[in-house]
Amino acid sequence: MSASLEPIARAADAPRSPDGALRRYLAANRAAVGTFAVFVVMIGIFMIASPRVFLNWPIYNSVLVTLPVALCLVVPLVFVVTVGEIDLSFPATMGFSAWIFALVVHAGYDPFLAILAALLTGMALGVGVGALVVIANLSSLIATLGMNFMLRGFIMIVTQGKSIALLELQDTTAGSLLSGEWGGVPVQIFWALGFVAFAALLFNRHRFGARVHAVGDNPDSAGQMGINVARVRIATYVFMGLGAALAGVFSTMVNYTWWPTTGDGYLLPAIASVFVGGTPTWGGTGTIVGGAIGALIVSFIQSGVVAAGLSGFYVQFFNGLIIILSLLGHRWNQKRYR
């Protein structure tokens, strides 16, 4: 019997995966969707554990006051991590920019001019940090750690640890625009959500975001395709500086006082939020919306644990638990392609 050289006819072509827009959206946003699931479960547990607190508005209101500051830090940090670097200097950048803001306001200038000065300061510091990492070719982990200490030290040396009260801001347009309430909701959250939306657009639908992904994924390939790798990397630090400056202005506006320690407490929570949100550590992919939800989760843990009737001693433990569980979830949910 002679063997046929004809290929065996295929019974049916491989089934084509449905190409629906919703499915595509979910596939492209796996990490963010997973993070949102974690958030829903967590709030569910809190509601069951202490319904009296979590079925009423005040707890959410208090989170909405602190959340904007975190969002302004977490969102640009997703860019830095996606490009394959890290930034530990943003707390000092935040304090420094807010300091410039406080000084300009205190000198009697228009608050909006002060905000502009703060934003420019943050971006200039971003250029400096970025140049250290990209041009001087230092490890971003160590170089930015050094910058954080150095900038904070500089603030302390010059101010001798003294804070600046800005009560004159209370009844200004800037004050009501940036720290009042609209319909019972803290106004900062609207600005912060606008910033998140802008960043998400930049990240997912803009040339810059596409290049951040490419450089973080494979800098050699990106360079060979004509992308200016150094410029893209520095630009992520500049964006981080902008976000840190915004965070600094918002946190100063909360109680109209600039502290020389402004920003210090945000280092670890902001970094944790990025990774809880589903941005992996290796670069090339990330999620802005996931990072924002990560910030929400981290902000809720503290108030949630205390409101649930546990002592403050439990906060750190639950912080850690949520971080580890989230990372395990993302590990299972996301595959790393090489």
Residues that bind another protein (CB under 8 A): 13-14, 16-17, 19, 24, 28, 201, 205-208, 210-211, 213-214, 217-218, 220-228, 284-285, 336-338
Nearer to another protein, 80 or 147 (CB): 80
Minimum Å gap between C-beta 285 and another protein is 5
Q: Give the up-direction half-sphere exposure of residue 248: CA atoms within 13 A in the CB hemisphere.
A: 37
Residue whose CB is less far from another protein, 34 or 248: 34
Q: Are strands 181-182 and 185-186 parallel, antiparallel or unpaired?
A: antiparallel
Give whichever of 7 and 108 is closer to another protein, judged by the CB atom: 7
Give min distance, CB of 295 to another protein, in A.
24
* Closest by Cα among 258, 209, 313 to 217: 209
* Helix ranges (DSSP H) in 107-205: 111-134, 140-159, 173-179, 188-205
Nearer to another protein, 248 or 286 (CB): 286
Report which residue type is found at 130. Answer: G
| Amino acid at position 76, single letter | P
Q: Which is nearer to another protein, 163 or 228 (CB)?
A: 228
Say which residues have a Cβ less than 8 Å from residue 175's Cβ, sequence separation at least 6: 111, 169, 253, 256
Minimum CB separation of residue 228 from another protein in Å reads: 7
Instruction: Give the shortest CB-45-to-another protein separation in angstroms.
Output: 33
Q: Could you give the CA distance from residue 254 to residue 265 in angstroms, rounded to a whole number?
A: 15
Cβ 227 to another protein shortest distance, Å: 5
